[in-house]
Amino acid sequence: MALVSALTEKFGIDIPLLLAPMAGVSGGELAAAVSRAGGLGFIGVGYMEEDWLRGELAKAGNEKVGVGFITWVLAQKPHLLPLALDHAPKAIFLSFGEIEPFAPQVKERGIPLIAQVQTLAQAKRAAKAGADFIVAQGTEAGGHGAKRATFPLVPAIADAVDVPVIAAGGIGDGRGLAAALMLGACGAVCGSAFYAAPEALSHAKAKEQALGASGDDTQRSSVFDIARGIAWPREWTMRTLKNSFSEKWIGNMAGLEKAAAQEGERYAEAAAKGDFDTAAIIIGEAVDLVTQSRPAEEITRKIAGDAEALLKNAAANFLR
């Protein structure tokens, strides 16, 4: 018996699970490992340039992977999309911004387009623009996101659009994947579950700290965007682990903006040294479930196996 959905059928994969295209975490090796295990891995381009993307695509080897972009960043670096498309990715994953300028290029190549959204209005707009799948991202997710929680957002979007919906935000094990399917999603996006995997690009010290962290230790803010000098639209805040830097500035954003030059330099030095009392560990509420560093293939298969067992036994366990 296997997990079957619109997601597995569209991409010819065995497991309805996507690796989140996490900037600074999801490179070619991690994406390839998830695809090799039966899911679909994505390279997260983030803020990187052409040479980096070429290198990570090469690291993926012969494994079929997708490429994910921060949409508003892609608007500043539009040349990166044709580069990705020339490598025939399994899909293009766009998050945070309007997909209309890029959808025609993707559709012309016959490559599936996945759009991540955080509201009903965004979902309807993405469906109208031609998205083949819509990711409903809840606030529990690590990294950038908005305010709505995954559990109510997924069925609301599934009811509102005629496009298959994928759940994201706080899904870190087989229980989460099974729940996502029951909410009306055709699969799930997982990010934090892979943060400490050997194949992940995450800093070794960040991986170590993540293993001992709890979702209670996370928070959403724009503190680290200001410190990094990245002009993120304020509708999206970033979930990270709390640290001394965020605790100092989270109640004084105006003060941080005034001190941005000095604090930005301090932040950059800390990030280079692996000092995560200042630099950000970008991870979600599912960090509770990340208790050891395991290979990405093992993580993927474990999530799928547990979800399959839960769904198979659900009737016997809960219906009398």
Q: What is the DSSP string of 104-157?
A: HHHHHTT--EEEEESSHHHHHHHHHHT-SEEEEE-TTSSEEE-S--HHHHHHHH
Two tokens, residue 165: 């919906």
- As a whole number, the mean pLDDT across the chain is 97
Superfamily of structural domain 6-201+292-318 = Aldolase class I (3.20.20.70)
Rounded distance, CA 244 to CA 228, Å? 16
Which residue bears the tokens 């280079």?
A: 272
Q: What is the pLDDT of residues 119-161, one digit of tens each?
A: 999 999 999 999 999 999 999 999 999 999 999 999 999 999 9
Beta carbons within 8 Å of 2's beta carbon, 6+ residues apart:
8, 14, 308
C-alpha distances out from residue 265 to 253, 261, 278, Å:
17, 6, 11
Radius of gyration of the chain (CA): 19
> Which residues are CB-neighbours of 152 under 8 A, at least 6 positions away?
none
Six-digit token string for 190 = 């997982």
Where residue 320 falls among pLDDT bands split at 50, 70, 90? Answer: confident
Of all residues in the chain, the percent with pLDDT exceeding 70 is 100
pLDDT of residue 182: 98
pTM higher than 0.75: yes
Q: What is the pLDDT of residues 188-227, one digit of tens each?
A: 999 999 999 999 999 999 999 999 999 999 999 999 999 9
**260 pLDDT exceeds 90?**
no
Provide the pairing of β-strand 218-221 with 237-241.
antiparallel
Domain range annotation of the chain: 6-201+292-318, 204-273
Dig out the tokens for 196 from the structure.
């400490």
